[in-house]
Amino acid sequence: MKLLNSQNLQNKLRDKFIKSGVKMIGPETIFFSNDTKIGKGVTIEPYVVIGSKVKIGNNVTIKSFSHLESCKIENKVEVGPYARIRPETILKEGSKVGNFVEIKKSVVGKKSKINHLSYVGDSDLGQMVNIGAGTITCNYDGVKKSKTIIKDKVFIGSNSSLVAPVKINEESIVGAGSVITKNVKKKSLALTRSAQTEISNYKRKSK
């Protein structure tokens, strides 16, 4: 009976949002909460789960296999596919969160992009920030959680670790593969990378 009631509720919610203009591709695979709020011009692709306390603005696209809970999505935002937006997250207007990205308790500024394979937690990102693939904010030291602050127009290279508490100031660049443990000054390049070693004419040992 509970399963039947749940199915009936989901069907009612789907019908309500379709009538309000939400475009759903495969509506039977999309799940809402009673308190979900959705604006105009929104597209939701198949296999999306929207938990409680989610507010979605206008002209938003939620791509397949994404999970949202207790978050605010402002206008003209693109989420997914395969994105997880966790509680106390705000995605500002024009931002983009791509595939296999997890955001928790963070603000992603206007027109900022986190496109691939990244974890951003307990962070404040400014406007027009670009986060490279494989970047993580190291927000938990085993005892407490600390904050990462990334200011406007910062570029974070791929496979970087930002060890909180840390602040990356405006228009700075973090080189790919870096582990950043100290604040980065405005318009600076921060790079932590060992020198590449190359041995010419190297022969592998035979078994």
User: Is residue 67 annotated as part of the catalytic site, yes or no?
Assistant: no
Q: For tokens 């203009």, what's the residue?
A: 21
| CA distances for 202 relative to 24, 49, 145, 199, 205, angstroms | 57, 53, 46, 6, 10
Which residues are paired to 163 by β-bridges?
138
DSSP for residue 87: T
Catalytic residue among 49, 116, 149, 191: 116
Full strand arrangement of the beta sheet holding 96-99: 23-24, 43-44, 61-62, 78-79, 96-99, 113-116, 130-131, 155-156, 173-174, 189-190
Which strand (E) or helix (H) includes residue 3? helix 2-19
Residue numbers annotated as active site: 116
